[in-house]
Amino acid sequence: GFVYFKKNMKQRFLKLLPCCHVDSTPTVRQNSIEEDFELATVCCRPDSLEKMLEQTKFTKTELQILYRSFKNECPTGLVNEETFKLIYSHFFPHGDSSAYAHLLFEAFDKHKNGAVNFEDFVAGLSIILRGTVTDRLCWAFSLYDLNKDGCITKEEMNDIMKSIYDLMGKYTYPCMKDSAPREHVESFFQKMDRNNDGVVTMEEFLESCQKDEAIMESMQMLDHVI
């Protein structure tokens, strides 16, 4: 049901990330990568390696590999929403991934300037792959809380579920009924809305997820991606 769906979405989401589908051994000299950080040969200069080491949970080598991958995918050092959607669409050829890609782009675009740079990318990735369970759940809650008012409504969850079903396409097996997104929303609220007030707060979301073994397992799956 919903938990499998979330687990499957996480696995597919990770395919979007350049670092997760390239050889983790750098094919260029270490000095060359370090020079790129210092000389900033991309149009958008990344923060210093030392600063990112402090702000993320990646090692120096991991950051260098991530930077090389990001630069290969995005030579200008910036990704706009259209490019992000295009990259994401390659992994879901049978569905319409634009709505879900929009949600993810918004989550990575922390400065809300319509572009994701390397620092934005690494900051989000650090939470998803190396954050505590609470960090990861807070990130997911923020993704679902579309208007950022501190709670998730059924309307917001309907939009999210519709974007996920659009993403999966019409040719899933077993075939999904048109009513499935709405049923998933009802299931979500039955589980999460502890006081039955029609909205799910951050506190309710964290408490419900941390008591759900399948969700906790899916979180642990992310620990060893890179």
Residue ranges making up the domain that contains 221: 133-225
Q: What is the pLDDT of residue 180?
A: 79
| pLDDT reported for residue 216 | 85
The amino acid occupying position 190 is Q
What is the rounded distance in angstroms from the CA atom of residue 156 to the CA atom of residue 103? 11
Q: Identify which of 212, 209, 208 has the alpha carbon closest to the alpha carbon of residue 194.
A: 208
Q: Using CB atoms within 10 A of its CB, is residue 167 exposed (0-12), middle (13-18) or buried (19+)?
A: buried
**The pLDDT of residue 25:** 41
Residues 161, 181 contacting (CB under 8 angstroms): yes
**Would you say residue 213 lies in a domain?**
yes
* Within-domain flag for 200: yes
Which pTM does this prediction carry?
0.72
- 139 within a domain of the structure (yes/no): yes
Predicted confidence at residue 142, as pLDDT, reads 94
d(CA 226, CA 213): 23
Contact yes or no for 10/44 (Cβ under 8 A): no
Is residue 56 situated within a structural domain? no
Residue 8 lies in a domain: no
Question: Do the domain assignments include residue 152?
Answer: yes
The pLDDT value recorded for residue 176 is: 65
Give the model's pLDDT for residue 27: 44
Residue 182 lies in a domain: yes
Report the pLDDT value the prediction gives residue 177, as an integer from 0 to 100.
72
Radius of gyration of the chain (CA): 18
Q: Evaluate the CA torsion angle 193, 197, 200, 204 in order and state its sign.
A: negative
Task: Report pLDDT for 223.
Answer: 64
pLDDT of residue 18: 40
Could you list the beta-strand ranges (E) of the chain: 78-80, 115-117, 151-153, 199-201
Nearest to 191 by CA among 201, 182, 204, 203: 204
Residue 116 β-bridge partners: 79
Say what the pLDDT of residue 91 is.
Answer: 80
- Classify residue 185: in a domain, yes or no: yes
Q: The domain that contains 221 carries what CATH number?
A: 1.10.238.10
pLDDT the model gives residue 40: 42
Number of other residues whose CB lies within 10 A of the CB of residue 55: 13
Domain count, the chain: 1
Separation between Cα atoms, residue 87 and residue 81, nearest integer Å: 10
Q: How many CB atoms neighbour CB 28 within 10 A?
A: 10
Tens digit of pLDDT at every position of the chain (226 positions) = 444 444 454 454 444 444 343 333 444 445 555 555 544 434 455 668 888 999 999 999 999 998 888 888 888 889 999 988 988 888 888 889 999 999 999 999 988 999 999 999 899 999 988 999 999 999 999 999 999 999 999 999 999 988 988 888 766 655 667 777 888 899 999 999 999 999 999 999 999 999 988 888 877 766 655 5
Going by C-alpha positions, the residue among 110, 157, 140, 115 that lies closest to residue 202 is: 140
**Residues paired with 199 in a beta bridge:** 153
